[in-house]
Structure 1
């Protein structure tokens, strides 16, 4: 189906639209959310944004995984990643370029990323946006999984169907990006209710795939003053530590909420 695009008014309009979308998806489905500060940004993993050939992408991933594994041991007091998938999930949430694209099961996490980060400078004003996807419908619409019909849900890293997406695979790689649950091996992933899509052997954007399939994808551009919208989100109790449960985030949150005290 084509991508459904809407403009909504503030957080109330966003919530109303998302609730309506959730009513329209099948009863056994659910939504994931991704927030972007600019509605013009495409849905594509960081490692695949510079136009490099796919072979170069996987070679760079191999090297990054090796270097991360070599140098990150001292930073893990517990829950050290044990395999390439677990390393990739941890790397994604600490800013490394990977073939993963972050999503969240929590709408307000997505809203935080849409409203509290500035877009790259553009000649015209842009709106922040929330993307919504039905991950089950998405997977069932991908050619590589469609033959399995309703037996396919969100994949896990133990499913045979993800073998062709593994960093270390020797199999022929699949093209279609698919929705997967990841290992919650960092406090950030836990706090952000993190989920993922992983790309295969095709570096096109998710939008391009959506226009060729029946994958359910919605884009909600949020009208309103960006600073006021961010304050509205904070007024609902959704501050920095809800997304980053770390001392730097606590410092930012307390500086904002207690800054008036002299």
Structure 2
């Protein structure tokens, strides 16, 4: 089953860590990329797609001008994939999408926005090994040569343009890569990015053709306060995930929001 609704903490943990045992590694390491959203109705569109139907035409212009005006600590010799990572990290609309290796970080983004506590949240879990089974041979060969499950920007650096990337296959494909450790935020959020070889194709439309690669966990709205309290006690919060004064301010603002508790005397 691709979609299930979690109504208790224990059920949620079981779903997030289902099939986590990896015999070859002798580790509990689920091969999933996680993306948490505070409202189940939110779609898996990139920030570039949200620019409108003209997104394919303006994609190159956005990145070209970002490179022209960017700070000097990103230099011309840096690869396309470094530039894309920096641009995404700083809010430029790109075809990249943010994910995390950590289910707890995903849960933070489900529960951080208290104004959305009336709505069910959602966690998308994508099996990146299965996603990469649909790669064109040349790219899957790169992973095999490295003995890796996800890409790095160095592995992708021979691809010098998005046009070249898109031309690798006549059929759209998706891949995951780890961004460079630009700052503590990327490190602390255990981040990785997805990218599809066509800027106009949404992740959900790609997934619908490949139901074996994903799981969708709906998080009941009346579970969010319990999730939030347990994450705070585990030190998964804005102070850690967004180091600096901005994260501190977000954390403090949320601490003084009056909780809207579910209609029960104690957690189930």
* Deviation by residue 1:97-131 (Cα, 9 ceiling, x = unmatched): 1100111011111111111136889xxx5311111
Within a 5 Å distance, the mapping from 1:109-258 to structure 2 comes to: 109-117=105-113, 126-142=119-135, 144-145=136-137, 148=140, 151=144, 153-159=149-155, 163=159, 166-167=161-162, 169=164, 172=167, 174=169, 175-201=172-198, 203-213=200-210, 215-223=212-220, 224-254=222-252
Corresponding position of 2:98: 102
* Deviation by residue 1:168-217 (Cα, 9 ceiling, x = unmatched): 64872642222222222232211211101112226232232223236510
Q: Residues 68, 16 of structure 1: CA spacing in aligned structure 2 closer, same or farther, 3 A cutoff?
A: same
State how many pairs are aligned.
245
CA distance in structure 1 between the aligned counterparts of 2:43 and 2:121, rounded to whole angstroms: 13
Within a 5 Å distance, the mapping from 1:16-27 to structure 2 comes to: 16-23=14-21, 27=24
Alignment check: 8 A CA contact 2:106 2:123 kept: yes
TM-score (norm 2): 0.75
Cα RMSD (Å): 3.4
TM-score (norm 1): 0.77
CA distance in structure 1 between the aligned counterparts of 2:119 and 2:80, rounded to whole angstroms: 37
Alignment check: 8 A CA contact 1:140 1:146 kept: no
Unpaired runs of 5+ residues, structure 1, are none
Q: Residues 10, 89 of structure 1: CA spacing in aligned structure 2 closer, same or farther, 3 A cutoff?
A: farther
